[in-house]
């Protein structure tokens, strides 16, 4: 990786920067993401080679190196159509270091497994948070919800583990959550009403993908189920770095989170 980056950098200093796109693509396919970011800044041609085709050999090679075969082979990433998008989703997945000690991230890189620990609520945050822009990700439960199953966002200061079976996400002013069990919205230890705001809203079904939409320009958090927009759940979010997060209580339950990128309007 380092040698290839050095070769690419050397090419930038001479006529190499005018190499045919196919040759550049081949060189770039040996580089890691950090090095590709630097290469994209060299000139318009390099930027176009890197970002013009999100399914190019560059992104296919990088996906093959950084993603688990299970993630590429199963339908985990079925709503992320390009290899560049799949690589980006991996870098935005649950953090293996920023989670409760009672959970672990499975080998696929996207699924949290909660160990069967009594009287504990356990959560996880993603590796990357957002302080600007618009972002969407999917979350789904692959096991029983238990008494509390919360999805939402949290600052870096929000705790990811506590005693008892509680709605950890939304239990203080550092997190905002939607409890899928009783459809309550939670923030600062209080219920902020039910969601979605309609009579007899259907309860969450195991395996159903919920799309979460964070808009740091409007300072709102909204949800979709299937392709139905359920509405804005939280307004007036603070201008701080906010991380996708979940909290769970049921032993051996599994939760998967996949970052989708900018939400599609419509």
18-22, 117-121, 250-254: which has the minimum mean pLDDT? Answer: 18-22
> Are 100 and 125 within 8 A, CB to CB?
no
For 13-56, the pLDDT digits (tens) are 555 557 777 888 888 888 888 888 888 888 888 888 888 889 99
Give the pLDDT of residue 175. 98
Q: How confident is the model at residue 160 (pLDDT cuts 50, 70, 90)?
A: very high
Whole-angstrom distance, CA of residue 193 vs CA of residue 216: 22
Whole-angstrom distance, CA of residue 132 vs CA of residue 244: 14
**Cα-Cα end-to-end distance for the chain:** 41
Q: How confident is the model at residue 111 (pLDDT cuts 50, 70, 90)?
A: very high
Give the pLDDT of residue 173. 97
Burial (CB < 10 A; 0-12, 13-18, 19+), residue 15, is exposed
Map out the domains of the chain as residue ranges. Answer: 21-89, 96-261
Q: What percent of the chain has pLDDT over 90?
A: 73
Give the pLDDT of residue 198. 79
pLDDT exceeds 90 at position 165: yes
Average pLDDT value for the chain = 91
Selected from 2.60.120.920, 3.40.50.300, 1.10.20.10, 2.70.98.30, the CATH number assigned to the domain covering 96-261 reads 2.60.120.920
For 230-249, the pLDDT digits (tens) are 999 999 999 999 999 999 99
Location of structure tokens 């007036």:
236
């Amino acid at each position: 990786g380092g040698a290839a980056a050095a070769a690419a950098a050397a090419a930038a200093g001479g006529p190499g920067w005018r190499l045919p796109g196919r040759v550049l693509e081949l060189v770039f396919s040996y580089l890691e993401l950090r090095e590709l970011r630097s290469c994209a800044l060299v000139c318009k041609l390099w930027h176009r080679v890197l970002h013009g085709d999100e399914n190019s050999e560059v992104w296919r090679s990088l996906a093959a190196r950084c993603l688990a075969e299970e993630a590429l082979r199963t339908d985990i990433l079925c709503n992320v159509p390009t290899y560049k998008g799949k690589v980006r989703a991996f870098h935005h997945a649950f953090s293996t270091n920023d989670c409760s000690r009672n959970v672990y991230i499975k080998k696929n890189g996207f699924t949290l497994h909660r160990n069967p620990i009594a009287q504990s609520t356990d959560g996880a945050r993603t590796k990357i948070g957002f302080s600007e822009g618009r972002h969407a990700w999917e979350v789904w439960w692959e096991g029983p919800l238990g008494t509390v199953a919360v999805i939402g966002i949290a600052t870096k200061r929000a705790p990811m583990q506590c005693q008892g079976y509680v709605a950890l996400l939304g239990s203080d002013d550092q997190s905002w959550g939607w409890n899928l069990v009783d459809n309550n919205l939670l923030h600062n230890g209080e219920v902020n009403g039910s969601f979605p705001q309609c009579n007899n809203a259907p309860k969450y079904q195991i395996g159903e993908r919920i799309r979460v939409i964070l808009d740091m320009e409007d300072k709102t958090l909204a949800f979709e189920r299937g392709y139905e927009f359920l509405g804005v759940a939280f307004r007036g979010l603070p201008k701080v770095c906010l991380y996708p997060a979940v909290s769970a209580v049921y032993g051996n339950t599994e939760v998967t989170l996949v970052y989708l990128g900018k939400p599609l309007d419509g």
